[in-house]
Amino acid sequence: MEGGVKFPLTELLPVPYVHLVFTIPHSLNGLAGSHFRLITDILFAQAAQTLIAFGANLRWLGGMLAFSLVLHTWIQSLLRHLHVHALVANGALGADGQWITGERRFLFPVKGLSSVFREKFIDALIKTCREQRLDQTMNDDLLSVLFYMIRENGLALIKRAEWLTANCALDKMRKRCQAVIETIKFLKFLKSGLKIGWFFEPELIYS
């Protein structure tokens, strides 16, 4: 993959990895459009905090997780779809410095992970509203409708759980990050003077 994103294999742990996707409902697309950094910061932070909390829970692992997050803001059909790809090592670093191996092909219960992520996302959005960091047009009634849609439709949750070897995990992350780079290149191309009816935000990477 000449000229593409390169990740040293030595930076990966010799354990299985799981690929998860955290996403938020399309009903928040308008809000994300007017408060892009704010909403994506919440998405990143709550996805990370959810993983950290489950990893630290003695019921599951009881240690510090190793994971990377990559934000995508669109899908192949060029429609806005905010979601975070997470690559998580199956295990955690214990307080004694020893590696805690996760169960075979099981990291965390997906439904439980989804539920906690959803509530953390909503709580963070409520806090943002109370701090008056959103438009004044976002009144309590409108926000109540948004929260209802998120909860009742089962959205703002994990859409995928896929197990990978370390090599496959590396390739997966490389491709996700390469898509980020291609988006940034496209943005620069648009700034050269060509005008079309689409707008793309730069993607973000977190690890």
Residue 44 CA neighbour count, 13 Å, CB half? 17
- In this structure, what is the dihedral angle of CA atoms 121, 127, 133, 139, given to the nearest 10 degrees? 90
**Rounded Cα gap, residues 129 and 141, in angstroms:** 12
Per-residue pLDDT, 80? 74
Output the tens digit of pLDDT for each of the chain's 207 residues: 344 555 555 677 888 888 888 988 877 888 888 888 999 999 999 999 999 999 999 999 999 999 988 888 866 555 677 889 888 999 999 999 999 999 888 889 888 998 899 889 888 988 888 787 876 556 666 667 667 666 665 444 555 566 666 677 667 667 666 665 666 565 565 556 544 443 444 444 444
Q: What single-letter DSSP state applies at residue 103?
A: P
Strands 17-23 and 158-164: antiparallel
Per-residue pLDDT, 92? 96
Largest CA distance in the chain: 57
**Rounded Cα gap, residues 178 and 181, in angstroms:** 5
Domain residue ranges in the chain:
14-206
Q: What single-letter DSSP state applies at residue 131?
A: T
Are the C-beta atoms of 55 and 20 separated by less than 8 Å?
Answer: no
Per-residue pLDDT, 75? 65
Query: What are the C-alpha distances in Å from 187 to residues 68, 77, 119, 179, 198?
Result: 24, 17, 34, 12, 10
